Structure 1
């Protein structure tokens, strides 16, 4: 059963993971409605082990507590690799605004392809690589189950999306929003993360207890996506928006400087699920009719991602 928090649906994923076909269909239908109307929903009982999630958050905090020079030793270099440490104000998710008041670390599943980019592993904390690789495996498993539900929701073979993501060209992003100084006044609309849509197919977002994520409704109102323990926030990105001919929507969101939390650290972890770079994103047949022809030309997932990252970093 789908519940709601400030309008955003909360969907119990347990019946999809463990139930019969009729229960799976019911969950998929809820996800279709949420993705069409919101582009965002909370997913409860997604199967992510709580101890694994807690360990990953703790390790992320240990990394961001390192001296700046140690973090800069593994600094992000270019859009092609999209790996490494991103310093405060280095990124502008809204290119019309100043740099975001956050720092991040990007990593990805290891690739065996010739010339594949490698992760930039920091020297500390010593368990960082093992923890992150383990968490990546859990995220891939969870994302594949969500993609199976999306395929069912769109009357496609259950492995339709999973097959298009089977080379695991995903990105895991650790995020830290440092406390802001006493008397801080934002300049020119700066915020912790500017308004943007995500670039890939779906995103899994794990939040700590500190709020700040805001989602724009279809009416143009910004509402808070208040953290709910035991849930992951799922949203559909730009490529799913194109793939489904706007049946599933890519929704603008941001991280604002909430007055009650501006002097607290905020941590979150985002798993950006991205199709294989050579996957052709072409309108799905069940998402178009004679009255609703395809809106977009085909594009490869890799081309789309490179264009977006270049805009974001100005490089």
Structure 2
């Protein structure tokens, strides 16, 4: 049975090389085998996370016409409010039963101080993970962080409202998809619904574990590493019990490389097989994926 590992990040900052390497090995194994992990001792305070969840609930409680004043307009800025069913993460299915607020670094400043602090804290944690990835792949420690230094990341507040009416055939809270960037940080409440697909095609639950952050690898990291690290399909299903009457909230931080970074197969990842993908610019890949998920709906 595949289990998503829980990894304690504390030892990564150890001055003892062997202790640090043990954590790097755990992270490498998780990225290779399942593409998901839970991180303990992430360095982001529980109080700050709670503040962002509180802000998120306040925003989604606003009348629809108020939220629509901040409507998401295009994939180039990729910021603003995304209404229910507006996005189809699985383009073959009906629109997702969720609403979202996409925030970049500039937009965070106009919202709330806690959002700015949280964005910065997520960036710091992402950089630590990217350093661990680099060491796991026999690269200089700053290999990935220097290619992410423009902070082209997206913070996404998500709300999955209670279901008042039956869903359409094939409709879920978030369709089956892989993430587009390098890595994703996910903070979720205890309502549940997140499922992860194993390499054998089985779907397993990824419930909230207190005081952890869910980390998963995205498409661009999979391309960079020639599938040494896998970008795993995941989805959010509709509960089949009373939780269907409750809101689910989560916060995702999508870590993206600088737009002009060429994602080309790493030399250390060509031992098992020759490059699977041609080189692509990070910004071009992100645009193509956003265009597919928003379509013309």
TM-score normalised by length of structure 2: 0.96
How far the C-alpha of 1:34 sits from its partner, in A, is 0.5
Distance in 2 between the 1:288 and 1:39 partners?
19
The separation in 1 between residues aligned to 2:173 and 2:78, in whole angstroms, is 20
1:101-112 to structure 2, matched below 5 A, reads 101-110=97-106
State the match for 1:198 in structure 2: 179
CA RMSD of aligned residues (A): 1.4
1:147 to 99, 122, 130: 130
Give the aligned partner of residue 265 of structure 2: 283
User: Which one of 110, 120, 135 corresponds to residue 118 of structure 2?
Assistant: 135
Match of 1:114 in 2: none
User: Displacement, 1:58?
Assistant: 0.6
Q: How do residues 49-88 of structure 1 correspond to structure 2 at under 5 angstroms?
A: 49-88=45-84
Assess if the C-alpha contact under 8 Å between 2:109 and 2:116 holds in 1.
Answer: no
Number of the residue aligned with 2:170? 189
**Mapped partners of 2:51, 2:190: distance in 1:** 15
Alignment of 1:115-264 (within 5 A): 128-181=111-164, 184-260=165-241, 261-264=243-246
Give 2:277's match in structure 1, choosing from 296, 299, 304: 296
Q: Distance in 1 between matches of 2:19 and 2:73?
A: 46
Q: Tell me, what secondary structure is at the counterpart of 1:172?
A: strand
CA distance in 2, matches of 1:243, 1:280: 9
1:60 & 1:281 partners in 2: Cα distance? 33
Contact 1:83 1:120 (8 Å CA) reproduced: no
Check the 8 A contact 1:280/1:301 in 2, yes or no.
yes
| Distance verdict in 2 for CA 1:259–1:120, change over 3 Å | farther
| Native 8 Å contact 1:101 1:178 kept in 2 | yes
Shift of 1:18: 3.8
Partner residue of 1:22 out of 18, 23, 31: 18
Looking at structure 2, the residues matched to 65 and 86 of structure 1 have their Cα atoms a distance apart, in angstroms, of 14
CA contact (8 A) 1:94 1:195 kept: yes
C-alpha separation in 1, matches of 2:59 and 2:117: 16
CA-CA distance at 1:17 after TM superposition? 2.7
After TM superposition, give the deviation of residue 67 of structure 1 in Å: 0.6
Structure 2 unaligned spans of 5+: none
Q: TM-score, normalised by structure 1?
A: 0.91
Q: Quick one: distance in 2 between partners of 1:305 and 1:102? A: 21
Q: Report how far residue 130 of structure 1 moved.
A: 1.8
* Partner of residue 94 from structure 2, selected from 77, 95, 98: 98
Question: Residue deviations 1:63-103, cap 9 Å, x none?
Answer: 11101011000000000000000000000000000000000
Q: What number of residue pairs does the alignment pair up?
A: 295
- Cα offset, 1:132, TM superposition: 1.1
Contact preservation (8 Å) 2:101, 2:158: yes
Structure 1 Cα separation of the partners of residues 112 and 50 of structure 2: 16
- Provide structure 1 residue ranges, at least 5 long, that are not aligned to the other structure: 111-117, 122-127
Query: Aligned partners of 1:120, 1:259: CA distance in 2, in Å?
Result: 39
